[in-house]
Amino acid sequence: MSFLRSKDDTQPWKGRYQPYDLVKEASIAVAVITLLAIVLSVLFSSPDDKPSTIAQWSRELPVNFVTAATQELDGTSGTAEYGPPYNHNGTGQHAWFLRPQKWLGVSHPINTANDFVIDPLKTVPDNPTLQSAVAAYQAAPQQTRKAWGEAYAKPLEEYEKASEEKKPPPSSVTLDSSTGAVSIQASGAGPIPTMMTGLLSLAQSGGLDGSLLTSKQFFQTDYTKPLLFMADGGLLAERAEGQHLLGDQWGMMNETGSYPGQAWLWLYALWYQVEPFKASANVDVLVMLVMGLLSLAFICIPFIPGIRDLPRVIPIHRLIWKEHYRSGGSSR
């Protein structure tokens, strides 16, 4: 079969030479690629949506903001009960003996009552009534604080329930659509109504966004607290639903706008849609465990008896490389 082999092209070139301007060709190539990158970015790039802020949230959904702030104050929010890396109030996600959150511990300690409500309120100047309310709340025993929080949260829960069922809101909660002010009629709530009114005003002015930034550098880079606070409310979920980014919308592999996202993530997103993963509180660690085992099995294919012999049983490679084998590229 040696006569079918191509002639040897490795011999020195003995023909004519032509001048070649490498710098000119490189400059043209860079210019063309740059132009293409700019045009394609304009035509197919993702939309540059404005970031969500606490000020935006408190103006668009003031009742939802106050509800979330009340939960932060009494320690019943998702962040307050999350566990590591923010606090010790939860066990974290785990599977069998694997407890990665517990092993890594609390790296970003957050006390939702102090960090999201009390400490920002202490920065409000020239408001002795508000500062007196904050002092009264801090001086009260824990049981009294809990009773105040439950009394204030009850009409808010009724309001949220009426909104979900599309019923008229209860008279105990009134919203001034022109100013964004929220009035809660809750007997036995102690100083909490005054505190929440002050926190809502601070948030709508934009001051709460700055109060929750923890970076001491000139450029603020740690947005953990603002994001966690907003995640306990309804703004981020509302925006995510509009962009089809929720978990039950295969959001992990979607992109903002009408463009496809990371299609290769479908295997990760798949497990979030099926049982028993879908209903599990430990879904994240379970999915990562499954994907880790699948990836390990894929890496070990050359060492797994039976699977590693499939190319010999089903020689698809000979069909794909038929021209190679016909030209004598293999000694077999």
Model pLDDT, residue 330? 53
Point out the least confidently predicted range of 29-38, 204-213, 228-237, 318-327.
Answer: 318-327
Instruction: Give the mean pLDDT of 84-106.
Output: 90
**Residue closest to 288 by CA, chosen among 264, 304, 299, 272:** 272
Which residue type, as a one-letter code, is found at position 219? F
Q: Where are the strands (E) in 176-326, listed by range?
A: 182-184
Model pLDDT, residue 18? 84
In sequence order, the 6+-apart residues with CB closer than 8 A to the CB of 237 are 246
For residue 46, name the pLDDT band (cuts at 50, 70, 90): confident
For residue 310, name the pLDDT band (cuts at 50, 70, 90): confident
Instruction: Give the mean pLDDT of 43-66.
Output: 89
Model pLDDT, residue 129? 95
Q: Where are the strands (E) in the chain, listed by range?
A: 173-175, 182-184
Model pLDDT, residue 253? 85
Partners of 260 in the beta sheet? Answer: 254
Neighbours of 311 (CB within 10 A): 11
Point out the least confidently predicted range of 153-157, 195-199, 207-211, 262-266.
Answer: 262-266
Distance CA 235, CA 48 (A): 18
CB 67 within 8 A of CB 117: no
Segments forming the whole domain that contains residue 101: 54-242
Share the mean pLDDT of the chain.
88
Residue 17 lies in a domain: no
Residue 113 lies in a domain: yes
**Would the pLDDT of 327 be above 80?**
no
Task: Identify the DSSP state of 256.
Answer: S
Instruction: Give the mean pLDDT of 176-194.
Output: 89
Residue 21 lies in a domain: no
- Give the DSSP letter string of 40-63: HHHHHPPP-PPPP-HHHHHHH-HH
CB 193 within 8 A of CB 152: yes
Model pLDDT, residue 192? 95
Q: How many CA atoms lie within 13 A of 297 on its CB side?
A: 7
Residue 313 lies in a domain: no
The CA angle 264-270-276, to the nearest 5 degrees, is: 155
Residue 263 lies in a domain: no
Model pLDDT, residue 256? 81
Which residue type, as a one-letter code, is found at position 306? G
**Would the pLDDT of 27 be above 90?**
yes
Please state the domain count of the chain: 1
For residue 175, name the pLDDT band (cuts at 50, 70, 90): confident
In angstroms, the Cα distances linking 164 to 4, 158, 159 are 77, 10, 9
**Residue closest to 63 by CA, chosen among 158, 127, 187:** 158
Phi, psi of 247 (to 5 degrees): -60, -40
**Would the pLDDT of 4 be above 60?**
no
Point out the least confidently predicted range of 46-50, 90-94, 117-121.
Answer: 46-50
Distance CA 111, CA 134 (A): 16
**Would the pLDDT of 134 be above 90?**
yes
Neighbours of 235 (CB within 10 A): 20
For residue 204, name the pLDDT band (cuts at 50, 70, 90): very high
For residue 144, name the pLDDT band (cuts at 50, 70, 90): very high
**Would the pLDDT of 332 be above 60?**
no
For residue 60, name the pLDDT band (cuts at 50, 70, 90): very high
Residue 255 lies in a domain: no
For residue 216, name the pLDDT band (cuts at 50, 70, 90): low
One-letter-per-residue 3-state SS of 58-95: HHHCHHHHHHHHHHHHHCCCCCCCCCCCCCCCCCCCCE
Higher pLDDT, 260 or 227: 227
Buried b (16+ CB within 10 A) or exposed e, 89-122: ebebbbbeeebebbeeeeeeebbbbebbbbebbe
**Residue closest to 244 by CA, chosen among 260, 226, 223, 267:** 260
In angstroms, the Cα distances linking 169 to 60, 134, 157, 160, 181 are 17, 29, 11, 8, 16
Q: 128: cis peptide before it, omega within 30°?
A: no
Residue 122 lies in a domain: yes
Burial class (CB in 10 A: 0-12, 13-18, 19+), 255: middle
Percent of the chain topping pLDDT 70: 93
Residue 74 lies in a domain: yes
For residue 305, name the pLDDT band (cuts at 50, 70, 90): confident
